[in-house]
Structure 1
Amino acid sequence: MRCRSVVLATAVALLGVGLAGCSEPTAPTGRPAPDTSPKSATPTPRVPAGKAPATSFAVGVRQLKLNRDGDRPLPVSLWYPAVGPAGGAAKRSVPAAAGRFPVVVFSHGLGARPEDYQVLLTRWAAAGFVVAAPRFPHTGRGGDGNPLDVLNQPADVSYVLSRVLALDATAGDPLRGRLDPDRVAATGHSAGGVTTIGLFTTGRDERLDAGIVFAGTALGVGTAFAGAAAPQLFVHGEADEVVSYAAGKAVFDAVPWPKAMLSLPKGDHGRALLGDGRTLRVVADTTVEFLRWTLYGDPTAKTRLPADATRGNIATLNDRL
């Protein structure tokens, strides 16, 4: 795992160099000044107010074989709330639970796979979200590793989102009638964080109601956030050896919408996202509450979020939601 982490760190560092040649850098080299702007006056997400599920679900997992334009294969892993007792590993192709669930798209990092993040993603599914995670053709494990292809990935995600949402009306599909197309978020780690930022800037997808960026930078996609307000949550390690904390904070500062930044003083580039430890539990609980608030419109989730974020003194929260 250590060797693989070093390879990924080097690859993502090259990603930053490559993208810098395509657009003007948006992150300063030093730690940016604190954000002193007033908190947003927006009290709720743009989705209608509602209540998130109070209990956990069992989790099912299935695969979709998608291909954009015939030359961009995009196999998608789908984790979803399923029938059966909660807890335990995700089960393949089990029936979906009753209800209509928001959709969360997740973009992996350079040289990674959706399965690498399954601990986090199954927790989102257990909380009542359908999670769609594509494996990108060039930046996923087994691809040619071309970092500049990240600039094509926002369009990949929009395509995947369209195809996944179409399942809600597809006769005979196990997720027919189970998806809520009006409650959608984009999330991603590292190169997937760049992809996610791009979905709210140069490749704005207006279907998106919220975003979560793990260890991301705006190099290549910029910080011209556009469209309707969509709350954003940033998660970044202050000891990130690949994408500097300053770079992530600079993007956070540029967001004109309700936003929060979960900072991990001892956090690196995100290895905690790949296992099940104390840090992952704090990140998982905080992101679940953020998604409950932004996608279910649950105001009580917003009130719980600060306590979850600061539990155990593992992280701090800059809350401007």
Structure 2
Amino acid sequence: MGVRRLVAVAVTALLAGCAPAAAVTGAPAPARRAPEGSYAVGVRTFTLDPGSARPLPVTVWYPARDGAVAAGRFPVVVYSHGLDSLPELHAGLTTRWAAAGFVVAAPAFPHTRRGAAHFTRADVRQQPADGWRLVRHLVRLDARRSDPLAGHLDVARFAAAGHSAGGFTTAGMFTSGHSPRLRAGVVIAGGGLAGSFAGPAAPLLFVHGTADPVVPLSVGRAAYGRAPEPKAFLSVLGQGHGEYLTPGRPGFAQVLATTTDFLRWALYGDRDAGGRLPADADVPTLTRFESRLAP
């Protein structure tokens, strides 16, 4: 998956550094009823700004029932892929989040996605702005009565998540002055970009394989160290760059449970989910969880 390219991104990010984080604390969104059980999952695609210099194909997974969007409003997770990847390659994780009661919107970035006509790793620095462009579009879409998702997006409760270069992209969305709509982040096998981890405090979860040969564990730990509380770090012991994101592979069940309950806690205010977090990763030979979340 472009090992040399992604190492270069990680090194560049470390050299650029992150803005100092203010010593502030945050809390999950005020409680609203979290879904019980699971949903069927629907999928749709669209292209944001198709005639622009940066058209953005987007895949959306959403909770469904009886062939339509399920009743209710659902928090939204913007999910960013890594270098030479695509949203659908992460469906093992994103569809399960949708089944748990989240709308997941995943852009395919113009110059880092698989098959890009002009691939360049340097474009990762432009991707946080793409993420915010998608957030603004979804806010407008929720008010568009003709759209099937209208009225179903909880546009006050967004999270950003991503793997590898998408993890850097996610961190880059948490900059000074960012909208308080962005209430949580999940950085998987990534690190920080310049200016990351500033602005309104939001819970952050870092996930990293301790034997990652692409983005070394030290990069994730450095980002975690710079991030303000509330925050948590899930180490997947002996694992590499992302095999634990594949259903059935060692660590997948723990990563899925931890990320899902983190999102439930942060976006629904589900205190029971927050209380489950230590047990989610309780496999001493496979995972290690450290938390400054105080759920």
- Within 5 A, what are the aligned runs for 1:92-171? 94-143=67-116, 144-171=118-145
Q: Are residue 51 (structure 1) and residue 43 (structure 2) matched?
A: no
RMSD: 2.1
One-letter code aligned to 1:249: R
Structure 1 residue ranges without an equivalent (≥5): 27-37, 85-93
Q: 2:209 aligns with which of 237, 257, 261?
A: 237
Instruction: Specify the alignment match of 2:7 in structure 1.
Output: 13
One-letter code aligned to 2:256: A
Q: Are residue 256 (structure 1) and residue 250 (structure 2) matched?
A: no
Indicate conservation of the 8 Å contact 2:81/2:108, yes or no.
yes
Indicate conservation of the 8 Å contact 2:177/2:199, yes or no.
no
Instruction: Specify the alignment match of 2:43 in structure 1.
Output: 61
In 1, the alpha carbon distance for the partners of 2:177 and 2:122 equals 15
Report the Cα offset of residue 312 of structure 1: 6.6
Single out whichever of 104-113 and 251-260 deviates more from structure 2.
Answer: 251-260
Q: 1:214 aligns with which of 183, 188, 193?
A: 188
SS of alignment partner, residue 137 of structure 1 = coil
In 1, the alpha carbon distance for the partners of 2:217 and 2:157 equals 30
Counterparts in 2 of 1:205 and 1:12: CA distance versus 1, 3 Å? farther
SS of alignment partner, residue 82 of structure 1 = strand
TM-score (norm 2): 0.91
SS of alignment partner, residue 234 of structure 2 = strand
In 2, the alpha carbon distance for the partners of 1:202 and 1:236 equals 25
Give a deviation string over 1:52-101, Cα, whole Å, max 9, x none: 111100000000111278110110000000004xxxxxxxxx41001110
Instruction: Specify the alignment match of 2:260 in structure 1.
Output: 288
Report the Cα offset of residue 50 of structure 1: 2.5
TM-score (norm 1): 0.84
SS of alignment partner, residue 53 of structure 1 = coil
- How many residues matched? 288
Report the Cα offset of residue 311 of structure 1: 3.9
Give a deviation string over 1:192-245, Cα, whole Å, max 9, x none: 111111111368343200000001122x4244x222210000000110101111
Structure 2 residue ranges without an equivalent (≥5): none
In 2, the alpha carbon distance for the partners of 1:236 and 1:205 equals 27
In 2, the alpha carbon distance for the partners of 1:140 and 1:206 equals 28
Q: Are residue 71 (structure 1) and residue 53 (structure 2) matched?
A: yes
Instruction: Specify the alignment match of 1:90 in structure 2.
Output: none
In 2, the alpha carbon distance for the partners of 1:55 and 1:181 equals 23
Report the Cα offset of residue 41 of structure 1: 6.8
Indicate conservation of the 8 Å contact 1:187/1:212, yes or no.
yes
Indicate conservation of the 8 Å contact 1:62/1:78, yes or no.
yes
Counterparts in 2 of 1:77 and 1:312: CA distance versus 1, 3 Å? farther
In 2, the alpha carbon distance for the partners of 1:71 and 1:209 equals 29
Quick one: percent identity of the two aligned structures?
Answer: 49
